[in-house]
Amino acid sequence: MTATDIEGPWSEPVYLNSSGFDPSLFHDEDGRKWLVNMIWDHRKGKNRFSGIVLQEFSVQEQKLIGPAVNIFKGTELGLTEAPHLYKYKGFYYLLTAEGGTGYEHAVTVARSRSLQGPYEVDPANPILTSCGRPDLKLQKAGHGSLVETHTGEWYMAHLVGRPVNGQFCTLGRETALQQCIWSVDGWLRLAGGDRYPEVQVPAPKIKPHPYEPVPEMDHFDQAMLRSDWNTLRIPPDPTWLSLTERPGYLRLRGMESMSSTHRQSMVARRLQAFACEAETCLEFAPDHPQQMAGLILYYDTKDYLYLRVTYHEEKGLCLGIIQSRYGVYDELLEDIPLKSMNGIRLKVVVDHDRACFYYALQDDPSWQPAGGWCDITHLSDESPEYIRFTGTYIGLCVQDLGGTRKHADFDYFVYKEM
């Protein structure tokens, strides 16, 4: 896709290839454009990560042209991916990620006088990693890209994880920044003098440009959702989400269960701090146990912790906690009967590897605990079954498994870091 302004409008997308992933464009000094991506060899007995392929992109024809050349097979670290090309003082520098996206993640560099190689591997590789240093606050460092400021300073943006208790990355992948320098023999180096990521680095010598912080409270009084909100797989549309049917409220119509990989009625934001709390006020009138609404800590369809209001045949309106831990469903709290369908306040307090839910009613505004502290280490990137890296979300959701689209109204949402 192309645009003359980063804010758009953008052109329709153009298909290029499906040979691998992590594509990146390189704009050479002669005006030619090149695409680099890792190449995936699907064949039995082959190395899946079989190198970095380079192919020219024609702006006029809007397609790849010429041969695709494998310019770099990678180093002994393996799992070579995430290529970026840069030209600096006569050399083409190829920056790649290696070692996998976990605790052995790394950034490696190779260079060549010719775009198509051969590429010489940096003798000091990897130039960035956390591997072998469990004491570091920033783990999984890798997948880097470079920027040169207009004041001539170099920085590397890269991925990291910050594990709780050295084990569980509940915040998912995060972005870190390292200051870089060029050595006398023309290799890229971290300014700190070694290969390990630093929590704090010198700021560039440019004018600060702070952004306004996102308000802690959302009153749902705007025409569109704020940019810090995400929906799951499907964009918001009036069939299931409205900010206008009841002005000042977010109305969600119930859809499928939390384990559904199709259509869920969920609006959530990223968990961005180890210690935080979130609060909402819910109005909901369920008439069947398959109708639920509430406040959720959500990683994926197999891992979540959900304080939900529902209907019980004997207790009527009630409150309980649903958990899915690595795909195993459980109910952590015997349903608590509620006196009112209106103005049910829900809150969750997150403290690193645990969370506690609370509730309050209009006629008794004091917070009451809904059970005790719950372990949330399963809401992390570390899964025993598969690779994942999105981190935990916190948000609002509604289910109506009977298909009647029962709605719930949320008066506000507060997210506060502590």
Tens digit of each residue's pLDDT (9 = 90 or more) over 223-251: 999 999 999 999 999 999 999 999 999 99
Contact assessment for residue 292 and residue 307, using Cβ atoms and an 8 Å cutoff = no
CATH number, position 168: 2.115.10.20
Kindly list the distances between the CA atom of residue 69 and the CA atoms of 24, 31, 108, 142, 154, in Å, as whole numbers in the listed order.
15, 19, 20, 25, 29
Could you give the maximum distance between any two Cα atoms of the chain, in Å? 78
pLDDT at 363 over 80: no
Q: Length of the chain in residues, anyone?
A: 418
Range in 119-123, 206-210, 278-282, 286-290 with the lowest mean pLDDT: 206-210
- Shared domain check, 81 and 26: yes
User: Which pLDDT score is estimated for 118?
Assistant: 97
Contact assessment for residue 355 and residue 297, using Cβ atoms and an 8 Å cutoff = yes
| Residue 66 belongs to some domain of the structure | yes
Strand ranges, E, within 271-404 = 275-284, 291-300, 303-312, 316-325, 328-331, 336-337, 344-351, 354-361, 364-369, 374-375, 393-400
Q: State the burial class of residue 363 (Cβ atoms within 10 Å of its Cβ: 0-12, 13-18, 19+).
A: exposed
Tell me the pLDDT band of 16, cut-offs 50, 70 and 90.
very high
Count of structural domains, the chain: 2
- Shared domain check, 180 and 229: no
Residue after which a domain boundary falls, among 128, 155, 190: 190
| Residue 8 belongs to some domain of the structure | no
CATH number, position 340: 2.60.120.200
Whole-model pTM: value is: 0.92
Give the tens place of pLDDT for each residue, 21-62. Answer: 999 999 999 999 999 999 999 999 999 999 999 999 999 999
Strands 230-231 and 241-242: unpaired
- Shared domain check, 275 and 173: no
| Residue 372 belongs to some domain of the structure | yes
- State the residue range of the domain holding 79: 20-190
